[in-house]
Structure 1
Amino acid sequence: MYAIVDIETTGGKYNEEGITEIAIYKFDGHTVVDQFISLINPEREIQPFVVNLTGINNQMLRNAPKFYEVAKRIVEITEDCIIVAHNAKFDYRILKTEFKRLGFGYKRKTLCTVELSKRLIPGQDSYSLGKLSRSLGIPVSDRHRASGDAQATIKLFKMLLHKDLEKFIIKDAIRIESKSQIAPNLKHIIDALPNTTGIYYIHNEEGEIIYIGKSKNIKNRISQHFTNTSPKSKKIQRQAAAVTFEKTGSELIALLKESEEIKRNKPLFNRALRRNIFSHALYSFTDEAGYLNLKLDKATDENAITTFTTKQSGKQFLFKATEAFNLCQKLTGLYPTTSNCFNYTIKTCNGACLKEEAPETYNERVRQLISKYNYANKNMLIIDHGRDIDERSIVYIKNGVFVGLGHFNLNYQITNIEVLESIITPMENNRDAQHIIQSYLRRHKNIKIISL
């Protein structure tokens, strides 16, 4: 659990500042579950430059509660939470100073979104909350007011959690929880999970990820893990101490993140999925007569049109593609013969097998197939469902290379390529990712694609 905090102060000498406004949002990594927002009477003058910056003046704070009147509420809402703030050293120092004045030792673990942003979103011109939010397409209202800045920090932190492919933020959070907080039984873990599409992470008591999976229904999938009687499931059940998850909205995003994060984190019980599992691929070559031929073969690291988990699934695709693009069975390798193919006999092949159709005409249809199922040299965005109704997911292909993925708010149009590349979580362009994207596009013909 996290407490997203933003504090406005009077300004002044170091450790002599007073709080003028505080906003705390208790955040479970997905939604805000509690909040506390209040002006505070600092019992001291506000520096003029701070009044100009925040708009908060002494008159506004005359009847506001003093810090000791809200201290109990602050302790309660941040209990067992990691404090998250933009420049956390400042906000945490101010809180500790105010509690010290009351004779109370206030201690919490902290996370700084400035430091996390530098690690997970490198290369930004500025890491101030305002400029970073603009570069990432994060809307900010009431800048330099506690609630507005805290809400922007929540959106930034959600993006950072999404970009944290190694999951060091989540693993550390689970590791520091007391064992009494970790769910004592598997049913309690299941009850806290959503019926949504996303990635799930099963952790042991040390916070280490022992299994990563994806599902269209996370709760149902974890229920299967915890009720299955296979040897592997029983081992997972014995070691499971907590389950975290990340909503993706899109199954494509979930598939890509699952593949990437298993390779990065190497969970104990994901050994079978660490290797490439796509065994066959479709290739093209030009024969001596100038016709483009298609060939289903074992997958290599060479450029393929598309890839398949089995030879049979590749053949099924080829049969459908041959019919859809009016291709020759002989030139697609489906009908080995020295004469004409079967489709020529039933007059559904134009005769490329007997060189009756001009290579140029035939090859144009083959290229249409290749273009549809292969994104080589293309610049495009694949737009799919988001985590919320006002959001969409995005997969970015640049010069035929899978660059990464992310989410964007529908109220913020992605027209600036620099903003686009900032919100994208970089991913490895390996054969598995290529297969996942190509396979998804084959199965979802109506998915939105924007060419850049």
Structure 2
Amino acid sequence: MEFVIVDIETTGGNPSQGGITEIAALVFNGNNIIERFHTLVNPERYIPNFITGLTGISQEMVEDAPKFEEIAEDLWNLLEGRTFVAHNVNFDYAFIREAFKAIGKELNLPKLCTVRLSRKAFPGLGSYGLGRICEQLAIEISHRHRAFGDAEATAILFQKIYQHQSDIIFQSLKKGKGEQFLPPHISQEKFQSLPEATGIYFFHDRHGQVIYVGKAANIKSRFKSHFSGNSEEKLALKSEIHDITWELTGSEFLAYLLEILEIKSLWPKFNRAQKYKSSQWALFQYEDSNGFIRFQVSKNNPKIQSIMEFDSHSEAWKFMMDKTTEFELCPKLTGIQKTPEACYDHQIGKCHGACCEKEKPALYNQRAKEFLACITNNKGAVLIKDKGRSTHENCALYFENGVFSAYGFISQEEYQNNNEEIVASLRIVKHIPETKYILRSFIPKIHQRNIIPI
């Protein structure tokens, strides 16, 4: 059996958009290196300055280098019928496969990752990056971050494993494609331990920091789908993940809610879709020095109790304009008009004069309180009961004014308890206005008998 130890340098991390700038490949027959291949490659695209700073490969250096299609046949003949070996193999393999695909060739080789092999052969090391592991094993790297220097070091590392613990290599090959999708720092044992159940999951980096939070009806299946494809983000996530933890919910509804709570709490670097700060607006009330109840639309502030929340400033503004007219309120006192004198509506007879002391606070506040009562009557709390983590329990979800407020798991015996008692036993969560959208999407799926007004 023969192996090809490969290392490449590229213009970036995305195989479908980046280009290869250097390739080195060493053929190992189990005893010695029997063939060497090394060349700079013209990537036919711009090399970013930070890549040049890392690798030392500049635009000028590759200007007269062969394009991939010019070296493709020689490289194909070198790879064909052999096992593809690299440190973090999915990165190198993905780039070379994409390059061959662009010229009409489909690369399909068995792969071995020296990161994964090293974790089994040399357990307990603090890091399995090429530079660090070579330092710990006294392997010299002649030119770090250059393809030939890194490939030579990887070949020495692979040879050490092959000659002293070859069973690790053959066991990995025997497992075949079933394990090849796994990130280099996630073992097959860890993958097999993942539950095929509903919940949320956390990806951790080498320091234990959460870098991604997700939800799934089947955590194990969802984990596998994360690492299919070769987008730049997937490859980056694949190289950074070192561990996965999870929390079962039983309820898909609860999984959606907990996912957004954790994202808003942890702000993981790979949760780009929901990684934004809320810019919602709210309505606040206060009493001025003359005793008038006033209203103000402004940015939502979780530290201040609001009367009502809105998705946008325009929605809040229209609401207040409509209610100012409906309850005959003063537009200056509802924040609609900004004027140091009497409001413009008073000048045309639409305002009773609270803004210019023509109306007493008691009379004006009566209408303002009617407006507040209208808002209160349209608010409410609801308890929703959904399936739990087993047949012996249910989950309880509590919403106030449409926003997720608390949750917990209740046994079949507790299910019969007074609903106020159930609510009192629940775990309170952080106020996240966006959870009201999740409620809206799930309400039609919940049986009416499980939706209980409180």
TM-score, normalising length: structure 1: 0.38
Scaled by the length of structure 2, the TM-score of the pair is 0.38
Q: Which entry has the higher C-alpha Rg, 1 or 2? A: 2
